[in-house]
Amino acid sequence: MNRRGAALVLLTSFFLAPLNCRKASGTPQDPLEPEAEEALVEYLRIDTTNPPGNETAGAAFLQKKLVAAGVPAQLVGSDPKRQAVYARLASGSPEKALLLLSHIDVVPADPSAWRNPPFEGKREGGYIWGRGALDMKSFAIAELMAVLDLKRRGAKLRRDVVFLATPDEERGGLDGVKKLLDTRPELFANVGFVLNEGGSNETAVDKILFWGIEVQQKVPLWLRVTSESQGGHGAAGGESATSKLIRALAAIDAIETPYRLTEVVARTAAAGAAARKDGRGAKLRLLREPLDIAKIEKELPPGYRALLRDTITITTLSAGSVVNVVPSRATAEIDIRLLPGSTTGEMLERVRAAVGKNGKVEVMLAGEATPESPASGELYDSLTRVLKAAAPGAPLAPVVTPATTDSRFFRARGITAYGIAPFKVNYYDADSVHGADERIRSRFFAEGVQVMRKVVRDFCERR
């Protein structure tokens, strides 16, 4: 997913915290913990960098784990190199099924920027290192362990539990979940609920201060702008495609995207602010009507401001090859994220008008507007119960994220999908998502594996 976790460290608690909390608190070790950690390390060693993905190796690994426990699991998908893995624990019940979703692919990693090689699954300093350690191979293993737990205990189920790990999420998911939903609807028969990445928590040292259940996302609109000109010798001074592109991009940069407060952001901020007397509480209190624009601009970091407006970010540029040749073609890509209520069609028109004769605008990806998943109901109640028990006193609220995940394809079909963040993550580790040195604390991983298992038991097992 394209987001960085929000987290906060309380320095005072940091210095008081015992160094080895598990031993200090005497919490018994989860019997599944060594198995889960081994599985994560093994999974991290499979290079599923997208592009190209090569997710089949990851899918086959997960399939092997499921089959070894007696869960029939199949590889699905039309591209032999980019398979998904699918398994269903049948309940015989007509209750809506729960689908445990993850993506197999990871974003590229430049080994020269890493302290440990990104695909070695190294354990060092209390951490498990590797591309995908947070996004999202750890989550997949937690889901896998939840399924294995139900199977091994011969649990009586109230509803089917579906396990699905897919390719292509990091490049938009069209060749992953979207294609499966379109071409293999039988796999999703009676699925009413999805648990996926995308939620958040705020971890101070080793305590959760806030749980965010993601119920809605901003809608992505990715555009490519291409400018063309005659080209020729640089000394002739003709109009260059690069100059035209610069004019187009300057006009795009000038598009105004006013601040506005959506209902879900207001709710999240109110829940967070009510529980906080510190600086973060003060920031959250800026997310309410009437919006104090001057203060928002001055005091809120970009991640918060992105929850209050559509964002337009020019990301890639490509033009020219040598200094004395006028390029005939120049391109740029623009990453736009729209708040609920804004439409891709309207924004596209505004960009086209801004670009005018300086270039043509092509749509790379236009997300669908999707209904918000309800911040109530049986699964939301399960999450509330289990997460509150895991972190007594921490408030929980529905959140909207600026990022995009595969949950949107399910929401578009009226299926309730929640993004959750079962693992504690300190802010300095959260920054490694999509960056160098991606890692997860072994202890936080083990705790999150338990949280996921409890959620699945709570929601799916007969009482």
Least distance CB 377 / Zn ion (angstroms):
25
CB closer to Zn ion out of 222 and 245:
222
* Amino acid in the structure at residue 303: G
DSSP string covering 55-91: HHHHHHHHHHHHHHTT--EEEE-S-TTS-EEEEEE--
Least distance CB 165 / Zn ion (angstroms):
12
Residues 59-98, one symbol each (x = binds Zn ion by CB under 5 A, - = not), give: ----------------------------------------
Least distance CB 135 / Zn ion (angstroms):
4
Least distance CB 103 / Zn ion (angstroms):
6
Q: How many residues would you count in the chain? A: 463
- Dist. CA 129–CA 159, nearest whole Å: 35
The residue among 364, 366, 370 whose CA lies nearest residue 340 is 370
Least distance CB 407 / Zn ion (angstroms):
11
The CB-nearest residue to Zn ion is 1
Answer yes or no: are the C-beta atoms of 113 and 436 closer than 8 Å. Answer: yes
CB closer to Zn ion out of 3 and 88:
3
CB closer to Zn ion out of 167 and 327:
167
Q: Omega into 290 within 30° of 0, i.e. cis? A: yes
Least distance CB 5 / Zn ion (angstroms):
11
Least distance CB 120 / Zn ion (angstroms):
20
CB closer to Zn ion out of 1 and 383:
1
CB closer to Zn ion out of 109 and 241:
109
CB closer to Zn ion out of 101 and 308:
101
Residue of 73, 85, 98, 136 interacting with Zn ion (CB under 5 A): 136
CB closer to Zn ion out of 55 and 135:
135
CB closer to Zn ion out of 171 and 184:
171
The residue among 390, 449, 378, 443 whose CA lies nearest residue 416 is 378
Residues 429-448, one symbol each (x = binds Zn ion by CB under 5 A, - = not), give: --------------------
For 179-268, list the strands marked E by DSSP: 191-196, 200-204, 207-217, 219-228, 232-233
End-to-end Cα, the chain, rounded Å: 34
* Amino acid in the structure at residue 377: G
Select the span of 35-43, 135-143, 262-270, 355-363 touching Zn ion (CB under 5 A): 135-143
What the block records as the tokens of 261 is 């407060």
CB closer to Zn ion out of 149 and 406:
406
| 106 makes contact with Zn ion (CB under 5 A) | no
- Dist. CA 324–CA 311, nearest whole Å: 36
Answer yes or no: are the C-beta atoms of 354 and 218 closer than 8 Å. Answer: no
> What are the Cα distances from residue 375, in Å, to 284, 331, 400?
20, 42, 11
Residue of 37, 105, 135, 206 interacting with Zn ion (CB under 5 A): 135
What's 331's DSSP letter?
E
Least distance CB 56 / Zn ion (angstroms):
19
* Size of residue set near Zn ion by CB under 5 A: 4
Region of residue 34 (left: phi > 0; alpha: psi -120 to 50; beta: else): alpha
CB closer to Zn ion out of 50 and 240:
50
Q: What angle do CA 206, 208, 211 make, to 5 degrees?
A: 155
Least distance CB 287 / Zn ion (angstroms):
25
> Which residues within the stretch 332-351 sit at the binding site for Zn ion (CB under 5 A)?
none
> Which residues within the stretch 1-30 sit at the binding site for Zn ion (CB under 5 A)?
1
- Dist. CA 359–CA 353, nearest whole Å: 10
Least distance CB 406 / Zn ion (angstroms):
9
Answer yes or no: are the C-beta atoms of 377 and 416 closer than 8 Å. Answer: yes
Least distance CB 360 / Zn ion (angstroms):
32
What's 106's DSSP letter?
B
What the block records as the tokens of 114 is 């890493």
Select the span of 79-87, 128-136, 244-252, 290-298 touching Zn ion (CB under 5 A): 128-136
Name 333's Cβ contacts closer than 8 Å, sequence gap at least 6.
222, 223, 224, 225, 314, 315, 316, 364
CB closer to Zn ion out of 62 and 308:
62
Q: Which residues bind Zn ion (CB under 5 A)?
A: 1, 135-136, 197
